[in-house]
Structure 1
């Protein structure tokens, strides 16, 4: 059975590209375009992985993650955070950022929205294979 991935991002172009890439590699993909819809779909869809934008309307990504982790049926779902924070800043502040997200994500992974197809697939593979 195909792994189920929920992409939550308010930028339709990013969502379409990621969905296309992941579906072409055998994943089942559901999408949401704001935090509230993402939380609702996480509850009903129960994905194997959530790819979650940090800054979104209606509910920020960290709040979505906290609420997902508080749900007994969803608490073990890994989360990859998406961001537009420049790569050099992320690199310089990696430990602090990871510790900030470690309380709400078992994966401690984040991707830049401008990531390549290979980077996206590598991050997803890392979640599923360790």
Structure 2
């Protein structure tokens, strides 16, 4: 069975490219454009992994990550934060609130796919 990935980003071009890339790799994909929609999609789609932008309308990626980590039912959910903010303080904050990985934009698609596969147990 294909792993399910939720792509959360408010930049349509990034969503299109990530969706194409992850579908090509055989993953089942859902998309959300803001933090509130992301939390709703996690409930309805039940992803194995979330690719989560930091800067978004309604709720930031940090707020979404904190909400997901506060839910014991979501303990196994993998979270990869994607952001243009690559300063050490942002990376440290993302990891401190429970992200499994932190990838800065622009990123290598090959590296991102490798990271996703690694987090999903080499799937």
* TM-score under structure 1 length normalisation: 0.84
Give the Cα separation in 1 of the matches to 2:77 and 2:10. Answer: 21
CA distance in 2, matches of 1:103, 1:78: 14
1:119 alignment counterpart: 111
* Ranges in structure 2 where 5+ consecutive residues have no aligned partner: none
Gaps in structure 1 of 5+ consecutive residues: none
Q: Secondary structure at the match of 2:52?
A: strand
- CA shift, 1:125, in A, is 1.5
Q: Structure 1 segments of 4 or more deviating over 6 A?
A: none
Q: With structure 2 as the length reference, what TM-score do the two structures score?
A: 0.89
**In 1, distance between residues paired with 2:91 and 2:105?**
17
1:100 alignment counterpart: 93
Deviations 1:44-101 (A, max 9, x none): 2111000100110000101001111122322321100011125xxx4xx2xx544422
Alignment partners' CA distance in 2, 1:65 and 1:53? 10
